[in-house]
Amino acid sequence: MTKKQKKVLIRIIIAAVLMVALRIAYRFLGEGENALVKEPFWFIIYMVPYGIIGYDILKKAFKGILHRQVFDENFLMAVATIGAIVVALIQKNGDYTEAIAVMLFYQIGELFQSVAVGKSRRNISELMDIRPDYANIEHDGTLEQVDPDEVEIGTTIVVQPGEKVPIDGLIIEGNSSLNTVALTGESVPRDVFAGDEIISGSINLTGVLKVRTTKEFGESTVSKILELVENASSRKSKSEEFIAKFARIYTPAVCYSALALAILPPLVQILFMHASAEIWPVWIYRALTFLVISCPCALVISIPLSFFAGIGGAGKEGILIKGSNYLETLSKVQTVVFDKTGTLTKGVFEVTGVHHNLVENEKLLEYAAHAECASSHPISKSLQTAYGKEIDRNRVTDIEEVSGEGILATVDGVRVMIGNDKLMHRMEIRHINCHCVGTILHMALDGNYAGHIVISDVEKENSEKAISELKKSGVKKTVMLTGDAKAVAEEVAGKLGVDEVRSELLPADKVTEVERLLEENKSNGKLAFVGDGINDAPVLTRADIGIAMGAMGSDAAIEAADVVLMDDDPLKIATAIRISRKCLRIVYENITFALVIKFGCLILGALGFANMWLAIFADVGVMVIAILNAIRALKVKK
């Protein structure tokens, strides 16, 4: 508790004790015609606890009036309690307890709110406690701690065991294992060696590492993530906007109703029904009850808190959601579209077979690896791995890449043609189709068919489970998009249980395909696209909600996506959707609950069935329950 909160707590305790003591004293000494102690003594003495508990509210209300900010909760509380005291004076029943109690409970509610919000705020910032405080730079054999902001690109920094990696970089010396749990939610440490890239925010566990920085601190992963998390709740959801608007109308509306309630019914009764003027205090009391109920705090605080907690809970799981609005959209997702490579499959291609007819296996691989040496496509990497020897780029000339088909290049004077059957068809080269499932790279040397290389991608262990989990969490349709051949795509889709497959797509086709799916499923909830962030930024932006996975270190993906999964486990997609649904359920629960109770109490109050005690319990009680409910969004079921 802060100092401010402690002070309020002490005031609450003193006022409560005084109030109870006075109530008892009044019962014995002040009641009846021949009471020992008479008015105005009671009035004066009761003002002591009232002043203790309410002075700041009265002060704020007064200042509010000066600044023409009339309808704030301080004003409402001030009018309601002063009104209650005046009514008690008129009716001469000596019941000032009510006014004090209203102030008391109001303050208890405020205190509870401030403690609860502060606590969950701290909880969430602790979860995301990845901000490095310093970087070590070696100077003549001694380590100097500097502000990470001041470290330039290319500086060598030293990360000792137990320290956070402050800046993204490349390990130049040493090996160690890293704890990346704060970044990815993955609790198994990752082993790293010299030459590996290392991302900021992970914790060095065992060895001393010398790292050459490749980015500035502001551009490093850790800064990007922190910026994203801290700004997340500034993008407001529709529910939050609704509440903000609602609060703006609700409070004045209730105030005017209260005024009407205080004047109209008694006036009508006196004028037309010959009631005596004594009914005024009754109606004024009912109007004051109205004012007590009119504070929209339960809604105004619990809705943003739910979203904040939901985003925080997701962050703990390595799921970064860029704003409450995205959390809201995510909860309405009915269709999930996947990119195959790197999302459902590992994206690590392996050469699984070489079927040759002209030259030796090794020779064919050698040609293939060289022809593809300039390409960054995962396929060419796997060819190079399979070849296993150093690649001499000088042997390759005239490289020509045909998007979606393959590559033409001259290696050692031989014109090498390598690609899918589309390329072979176009070049009018007779080729033999392979019975194996995988990506088939046909090859021709100087225009003669030389055989083919089979490359296949392996599904991730969790992909199948991820699809079934998505189904369980209420996703109606799953679609897989891929540039791969139909046979490969369908085999993978069949294995994983994906509903629909679209294969042989060029990168540009993916956008049209997603647009078509968006059109088809317009009335059917939202559409999410999941990609690995490489090449699919346009699709990520086009979908209702773009999810990038394994995006650590890929700025383009972090930029384009609305939800970023820090590791590449597809199960996290279902987790993210589950978190969002839970959070939105809590939001709707709170909205309904608070509105039903408030309107119920307003009606009871107008009819005279609810007194001020009930009103303040409704106000504070609803707020406490709504806050406790909101905090639930922070917990994520495994």
- Interface size with another protein, residues (CB under 8 A): 26
What amino acid occupies position 211? V
In the region spanning residues 157 to 196, those forming contacts with another protein, defined by CB under 8 A, are: none
Distance of CA 181 to the CA centre of its chain: 17
Closest approach, Cβ 262 to another protein, in A, equals 24
C-alpha–C-alpha distance, residues 621 and 615, integer Å = 10
The site map against another protein for 110-129 (x = CB under 8 A) is x--xx--x---x--------
Residues 625, 631, 633, 637, CA torsion sign: negative
Select which of 133, 140, 168, 339 is catalytic: 339
- Among left, alpha and beta (phi > 0; psi -120 to 50; other), residue 428 is left
Whose Cβ is closer to another protein: residue 174's or residue 621's?
A: 621
The residue from 301, 337, 501, 620 that contacts another protein (CB under 8 A) is: 301
Among 236, 477, 526, 572, binds another protein (CB under 8 A): 236
* Cβ atoms of residues 429 and 415 within 8 Å: no
230 binds another protein (CB under 8 A): yes
The answer to whether residue 339 is catalytic is: yes
Residue 213 interacting with another protein (CB under 8 A): no
- Cross-sheet strand order for the sheet of 209-213: 142-146, 135-139, 156-159, 209-213, 169-173, 197-198
Of these, 11, 73, 100, 604, which contacts another protein (CB under 8 A)? Answer: 73
Residue 131 contacts another protein per CB under 8 A? no
The residue among 303 and 407 lying less far from another protein, judged by its C-beta, is 303
Cα 593 vs. chain centroid, distance in angstroms?
Answer: 24
Residue 608 beta carbon to another protein: minimum distance, rounded to whole angstroms: 29
Stretch that binds another protein, among 59-67, 373-381, 445-453, 612-620 (CB under 8 A): 59-67
Nearest to another protein of 12, 604 (CB atom): 12
Please pick, from the candidates 185, 296, 525, 570, the single residue that binds another protein as defined by CB under 8 A.
Answer: 296
Instruction: Decide whether 116 or 576 has the Cβ nearer to another protein.
Output: 116
**CB neighbours of 570 closer than 8 A, spacing ≥ 6?**
338, 343, 344, 460, 462, 463, 466, 530, 549
Nearer to another protein, 69 or 448 (CB): 69
CB 249 within 8 A of CB 227: no
**Shortest Cβ distance from residue 274 to another protein (Å)?**
44
CB neighbours of 480 closer than 8 A, spacing ≥ 6? 337, 338, 339, 340, 344, 489, 492, 493, 496, 498, 500, 501, 502
Sheet architecture: strand order including 563-565:
319-321, 563-565, 545-549, 526-531, 333-339, 477-481, 500-502
Residue 247 vs 458, nearer CB to another protein:
247
Q: Nearest approach, Cβ of 231 to another protein (angstroms)?
A: 7
Q: Does 285 bind another protein (CB under 8 A)?
A: no
Which range in 14-22, 225-233, 484-492, 505-513 contacts another protein by CB under 8 A? 225-233
CA 243 to CA 590: how far, in whole Å?
Answer: 11
Residue among 115, 127, 181, 244 that touches another protein (CB under 8 A): 244
Tokens (6 digits) for 1: 């508790």
Report, in Å, the least distance between residue 605 CB and another protein. Answer: 21
Binding status of residue 11 toward another protein by CB under 8 A = no
Q: Name the minimum Å distance from CB 78 to another protein.
A: 14
CB of 308 to another protein, least distance (A): 4
To another protein, the closest distance from the beta carbon of 61 in angstroms equals 10
| Tokens, residue 417 | 């043609």
Closest of 630, 635, 631 to residue 243, by C-alpha: 630
d(C-alpha 217, C-alpha 202), whole Å? 14
Phi, psi at residue 92, to the nearest 5°?
55, 35
Q: With both helix axes pointing from N to C terminus, report the angle between 3-29 and 41-66 in degrees, rounded to the nearest 10.
A: 150
Whole-number Å distance between alpha carbons of 548 and 585: 25
Interface with another protein (CB under 8 A): 60, 63-64, 67, 69, 72-73, 110, 113-114, 117, 121, 230-231, 233-234, 236, 244, 247, 296-297, 300-301, 304-305, 308
Active-site residue list: 339
